[in-house]
Amino acid sequence: MINIETCLTPEILHLHQLEGKIAVVTDVLRATSCMVAGLNAGVKSVIPVKKVEEALAYAAKGYVTAGERGGIKVEEFTIGNSPYEHMEEAYHGKSICMTTTNGTVAIDAAKKTADQVVIGALLNVTAVADYIKQQEKDIIIICAGWKGNPSLEDTLFAGALIHQLKHRSEITDDASYMALSQYEASNSNLTEVISKNASHAKRLSGLKAQNDLAFCAKEDYCDILPILTGDEITIKK
């Protein structure tokens, strides 16, 4: 039996024990969706960093830089936080250094103590579930949330993952149960549920952002498993 727990926001990650566990980090809108989409399209690796200054140091070494603060592209960066940008041919074979308001902070917090850090998004949820089933290790799903608060879209990812694991796992906390029932109630139309109800969706205005949202809400767009090794996220072969 795999024990599952869910941390709805990194703000309470200190209450969880990560040692010996696989941490699945998600930031559906849009950091981990960008990573999954980019790596699947041909990006060589993603280096998540916590601060803009760290990313700029990578930029000085010739790296592609990506990310946002408060949902807006950092001016000096090559690209922002749209999965479509991360899939562009120009970045195939390249390494992207990325920092975002919530997602890369969550990865940074997880990598300090978890046994493994896996990058999850709705786009690759079945690939993540299959890997967990194979590993048979306890997991903690870490939702990036929004500035410390829980977010609907990340909670739905947690629910989608737990849904796939529920017959071979033990739910150990209320957050996991709530994520699962949230997902099972929303199952038929994630795009609509997220568009209508997620506060993050309301912050994304304009056609381009709406396209991003619809893309990020797609379950199983691809089947890659991005995993963190050292400071770099690559596809696990």
Stretch that binds its own copies, among 3-11, 28-36, 114-122, 133-141 (CB under 8 A): 3-11
> Which residue's CB is nearer to its own copies, number 113 or number 126?
113
The correct pick among 21, 30, 86, 200 for binding its own copies (CB under 8 A) is 200
| Min CB(183)–its own copies separation in Å | 11
Stretch that binds its own copies, among 11-19, 52-60, 95-103, 226-234 (CB under 8 A): 11-19
User: Between 152-165 and 174-186, two packed helices, what is the crossing angle to 10 degrees?
Assistant: 90
| Min CB(184)–its own copies separation in Å | 8
| Min CB(73)–its own copies separation in Å | 24
197 binds its own copies (CB under 8 A): yes
Give the integer Cα–Cα distance in Å for 174 and 167: 17
- The secondary element (H helix, E strand) that includes residue 22 is strand 22-26
> Which residue's CB is nearer to its own copies, number 6 or number 45?
6
2 binds its own copies (CB under 8 A): no
Q: Return the half-sphere exposure (C-beta side, CA atoms, 13 A cut-off) of residue 236.
A: 17
| Min CB(221)–its own copies separation in Å | 23
> Which residue's CB is nearer to its own copies, number 217 or number 233?
217
Residues 6+ apart with CB under 8 A from 83: 30, 33, 34, 36, 37, 38, 123, 212, 215, 216
Site string for its own copies, 141-180 (x = CB under 8 A): -----xxxxxxx--x----------------xxxx-xx--
Bond into 30 cis (ω within 30)? yes
The correct pick among 17, 112, 168, 185 for binding its own copies (CB under 8 A) is 185
Give the integer Cα–Cα distance in Å for 16 and 217: 28
Buried (b) or exposed (e) across 11-37, using 16+ Cβ within 10 A?
eebeebebeebbbbbbbbbbbbbbbbb
105 binds its own copies (CB under 8 A): no
Residues 6+ apart with CB under 8 A from 156: 28, 122, 179, 182, 183, 186, 190, 193, 194
User: Between 103-111 and 31-41, two packed helices, what is the crossing angle to 10 degrees?
Assistant: 80
The correct pick among 3, 182, 187, 191 for binding its own copies (CB under 8 A) is 182
| Min CB(40)–its own copies separation in Å | 27
* Residue ranges binding its own copies (CB under 8 A): 8-9, 11-12, 15, 146-152, 155, 172-175, 177-178, 181-182, 185-186, 197-200
